[in-house]
Structure 1
Amino acid sequence: MARPISASHDLRRDEILNVAAACFAQRSYPATSMNDIAAACGTSKARLYHYYESKEAILFDLLDRYTQKLLLIVAQVEAKAQRQSLDERAALHELIRAFLREYETSATRHAALLGATQFLGEEPRELILDRQRDVVSAVTRFLRRAYPERLDARNQTAITMTLFGMINWTFTWLRPGGAMSYAAFAEEVIRLLDQGLASST
């Protein structure tokens, strides 16, 4: 009979993913070795291989968990909007706030998603890209519901990507404890978006 996997096994994998994400953000994925990750974890490379068979396996688990988390955020906001009978604009605003709350604690994971997905093998890469497309599609839905008079088939992609352009790269400049908090920035994004898209109504 196979030995059951202990609870500490999953906890250790979480620790490895946290460290690996930081290494990828600092050095880049190609420049980071299993030795680097092991050293940053305070363990041996042999011990690291007990948890992950390769650097790519670490990257995939990191991105697999993170993209699932982003989709879960979408589902949670949709459920909250329905439960609290939020109007469509309020639901979109909640989604923006929820994404930025996540980004505040997931900067290195988000950096890996935007900069290292290309290094996965074809099948795992397509799975992660499909999840990213699902997130983009969900945000487009929120935007179309919030501003039906402004978004149509011609401009919805441009407007959706404008929103992502405002929030997706915060890991490069927005710092917890800095002059502006993530929560305050979320309100600025909402204000810019709402005033810009509502101006022609």
Structure 2
Amino acid sequence: MARPVAKDYGTKRRLILDRAAQLFADEGFDRTSVSRVALACEISKANVYHYYGSKDEILFDILDAYLSGLRDGIFALQTTLTHVTAQDRFSATITKILLDYQGMDHEHRLQTTVLNHLPPDQQKILLGYQRELVHLMSRLIRDVEPVVFENDPAKLRATTMSVFGMLNWFYMWKPDATGKDRRDYAAHISRLCSGGFAGL
């Protein structure tokens, strides 16, 4: 007979992921042991292994939940923006991204630093989420200025990655940003991208 799932299974699993994300980001993935994760969760090492077979499994689950959730939220937003201008779709999307980054600094840092610790098949899944977001952003940018990017995929990619650069590193210089700060910065990026420096 299969062992019944504990009532607090989801809660405890979420606790492991949250504490591990912080430890992996702050202390380093290689230097953080499963014992250290267990101590931070105030549970036994054996209890951690009840949920995850290895540290790599924990890392994959952290990044899979983060990136798939980010992707799903951004794509769901697009279905609500069918009757607005291309500029408004772009602005709403970068605002959503910044707001969804809030409280996820540890997960965000991990995707840029330790994704290569995972096996190729798992990396492929996670990179797939990232590519979907990049492709969506490229379409939004192209729709704002179709003439500028017509027949110039290199320029479009450079612009797309520049936008993500501005979004992705916001937490480095504004670690305590509020929701208002994030909306203000999204508006700043939108003006910058739509009008260049003159747009500011």
1:31-42 correspondence to structure 2 within 5 Å: 31-42=31-42
**Partner Cα separation in structure 1 for residue 181 and residue 155 of structure 2:** 31
Q: Specify the code of the residue in structure 2 equivalent to 1:121.
A: P
Stretches of 4+ aligned residues off by more than 3 angstroms: none
Indicate conservation of the 8 Å contact 1:108/1:171, yes or no.
no
Q: How do 1:142-157 and structure 2 match up within 5 A?
A: 142-151=140-149, 152-157=152-157
The equivalences for 1:1-201 within 5 A come to: 1-82=1-82, 85-151=83-149, 152-176=152-176, 181-196=181-196
Q: Contact 1:92–1:142 (CA<8 Å) still a contact in 2?
A: yes
Gaps of 5+ in 1: none
- Asked whether the 8 Å contact 1:77–1:91 carries over to 2, the reply is no
Identity of aligned residues (%): 31
Asked if the contact 1:21/1:108 (under 8 Å) is kept, the reply is yes
Q: What is the total number of aligned residue pairs between the two structures?
A: 196
Deviations 1:134-181 (A, max 9, x none): 111111111111221222323111000000110112232222257x82
Distance 2:68 2:51 in 1: 21
Distance 1:171 1:116 in 2: 18
**Deviation string, structure 1 residues 35-63 (Cα, Å, up to 9, x no partner):** 12111111121111111111100000111
Amino acid at match of 2:80: K
CA displacement, residues 43-99 of structure 1 (integer Å, 9 cap, x when unaligned):
1211111111111000001111111112112212211102xx111110111100000
SS in 2 for 1:118: helix
Aligned-partner Cα distance in 2 for 1:19–1:64: 16
SS in 1 for 2:154: coil
Aligned equivalents of 1:149 and 1:115: distance in 2? 36
Q: Report how far residue 197 of structure 1 moved.
A: 9.0
Uncovered stretches (5+) of structure 2, i.e. residues with no partner: none
Q: Secondary structure in 1 aligned to 2:38?
A: helix
Mapped partners of 1:32, 1:147: distance in 2: 46
User: Post-superposition shift, 1:29?
Assistant: 1.4
